[in-house]
């Protein structure tokens, strides 16, 4: 029932929200480009480029991680099989009172 009424955003809204900062940055760069000296432009350009790479880095790392340890990879299949095997192993019941009585030699 909750699936029928769940709110999702339209793809064009997400796309425009993601591209808006890039467009604003490009517009600011075009407007302010002639006002700065060449050395300042170069430094700011390298800095903004480094920030852009740093912003994309989590997505790249997440993608590589899912490729290496995802459910269709060799590691992912081994992990899933190990989870299935471990699901049948049950930890023994631990009772603190019985353990204390055993230590005292009463059991």
Q: pLDDT, tens digit, for every residue of 31-72? A: 777 787 878 778 877 877 787 778 778 878 888 888 888 888
Handedness of CA 35, 37, 33, 54 (dihedral sign): negative
Whether 28 maps to a domain, the answer reads yes
For residue 107, give every residue at least 6 positions away whose Cβ sits within 8 Å of its Cβ, in sequence order, or none. Answer: 98, 101
Question: DSSP label at 84?
Answer: H
| Secondary structure (3-state) at 103 | helix
Whether 3 maps to a domain, the answer reads no
Whether 5 maps to a domain, the answer reads no
Whether 4 maps to a domain, the answer reads no
Whether 64 maps to a domain, the answer reads yes
Whether 34 maps to a domain, the answer reads yes
Contact 50, 57 (CB under 8 A): no
Residue 9 confidence (pLDDT): 63
Contact 48, 56 (CB under 8 A): no
Whether 65 maps to a domain, the answer reads yes
Residue 1 confidence (pLDDT): 47
Question: DSSP label at 107?
Answer: -
User: Would you say residue 12 has pLDDT above 70?
Assistant: no
pLDDT tier for residue 4 given thresholds of 50, 70 and 90: low
Structural domains in the chain (count): 1
pLDDT digits (tens, 9 = 90+) for 66-104: 888 888 888 888 888 888 888 777 666 767 888 888 888
Whether 87 maps to a domain, the answer reads yes
The domain of 16 spans: 11-104
């Amino acid at each position: 029932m909750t699936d029928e009424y769940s709110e999702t955003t339209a793809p064009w809204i997400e796309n425009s929200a993601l591209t808006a900062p890039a467009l604003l940055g490009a517009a600011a760069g075009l407007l302010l480009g002639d006002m700065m000296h060449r050395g300042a432009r170069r430094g700011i350009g390298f800095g903004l480029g480094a920030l852009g790479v740093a912003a994309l880095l989590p997505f790249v790392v997440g993608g590589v991680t899912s490729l290496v340890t995802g459910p269709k990879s060799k590691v992912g299949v081994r992990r899933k099989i190990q989870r299935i095997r471990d699901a049948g192993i049950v930890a023994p019941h631990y009772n603190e009172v019985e353990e204390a009585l055993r230590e005292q030699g009463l059991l």
